[in-house]
């Protein structure tokens, strides 16, 4: 019976891409890792919905541009499910306008198809463990470009954050990890995880990627301000 499980620490992965050769290559790369098992494939967004809901993998690796239903539309539908998979989006273009929309949707990661194989494997592991991954080669440019073209708007939820939670959001958007933020404040990593969780809950965000996008859109940080998220 299919289900979301990491039996024997193996990560169950579904690959969705409309090009068979790309799917084969991604499968080959993923299965070089002993802790990753490719349990299914899909050739378009509608198949991705069906296969993912049937097999319930831990991670879905999905192209943004696909026929019948694109990856962004499929991600939106899957993330509305009670128990969605963790989703890593793939694209050829680092400046794809859909990327910003997919980041706001709440996907867990984003990678260029030109990323090295080891980065793909690391992305699957990172998101399976519950974290989020941003490809610095593309995502930072898209977020910064969007922020530069739009006047920041501070939503009312921002006022619900404590000064410490606001600073955590600012440092997170600059690309610092939980451990690095903990060192900045000279407090424990567990305390920072609590601050991050409360901050995400108050802002109604799904993960760190959405928090980075929120921070730029709300003007908490601006492009070029002490570095971009990485």
The rounded distance, in Å, linking the Cα atoms of 36 and 82 is 24
> Cβ(185)–Cβ(166) under 8 Å?
no
User: Which DSSP category does 186 fall into?
Assistant: T
- Residue 154 clears pLDDT 70, i.e. is over it: yes
The rounded distance, in Å, linking the Cα atoms of 205 and 199 is 8
Smallest Cα–Cα separation from 86: which of 47, 125, 134, 43? 125
- Residue 176 clears pLDDT 70, i.e. is over it: yes
Domain map (residue ranges) of the chain: 7-135, 152-217
pLDDT, tens digit, 9 for 90 and up, residues 1-44 = 444 444 457 999 999 999 999 999 999 999 999 999 999 999 99
- In this prediction, residue 147 carries a pLDDT of 64
- In this prediction, residue 96 carries a pLDDT of 54
Q: Which numeric CATH code is attached to 152-217?
A: 1.10.10.10
Q: Which numeric CATH code is attached to 7-135?
A: 3.40.50.2300
DSSP states of 113-182: TTS-HHHHHHHHHHHHTT--EE-TTTHHHHHHHHHHHS-----GGGGGS-HHHHHHHHHHHTT--HHHHH
- In this prediction, residue 3 carries a pLDDT of 45
- In this prediction, residue 145 carries a pLDDT of 64
pLDDT, tens digit, 9 for 90 and up, residues 101-150 = 767 778 888 888 888 898 899 889 988 988 777 655 555 666 666 666 66
């Amino acid at each position: 019976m299919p289900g979301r499980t990491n039996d024997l620490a193996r990560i169950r992965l579904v690959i969705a891409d409309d090009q068979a050769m790309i799917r084969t290559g991604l499968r080959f790369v993923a299965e070089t890792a002993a802790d990753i098992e490719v349990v299914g494939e899909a050739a378009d967004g509608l198949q991705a919905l069906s296969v993912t809901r049937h097999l319930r993998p831990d991670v879905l690796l999905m192209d943004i541009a696909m026929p019948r239903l694109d990856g962004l539309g499929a991600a939106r539908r899957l993330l509305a499910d009670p128990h969605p998979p963790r989703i890593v989006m793939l694209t050829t273009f680092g400046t794809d306008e859909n990327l910003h929309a997919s980041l706001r949707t709440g996907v867990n990661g984003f990678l260029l198809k030109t990323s090295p194989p080891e980065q793909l494997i690391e992305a699957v592991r990172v998101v399976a463990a519950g974290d989020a991954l941003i490809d610095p080669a593309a995502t930072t440019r898209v977020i910064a470009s969007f922020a530069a073209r739009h006047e920041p708007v501070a939503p009312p939820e921002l006022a619900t954050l404590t000064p410490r939670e606001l600073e955590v959001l600012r440092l997170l958007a600059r690309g610092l990890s939980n451990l690095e933020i903990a060192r900045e404040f000279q407090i424990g990593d567990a305390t920072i995880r609590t601050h991050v969780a409360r901050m995400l809950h108050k802002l109604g965000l799904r993960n760190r990627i959405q928090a980075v996008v929120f921070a730029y859109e709300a003007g908490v940080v601006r492009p070029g301000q002490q570095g971009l998220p990485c």
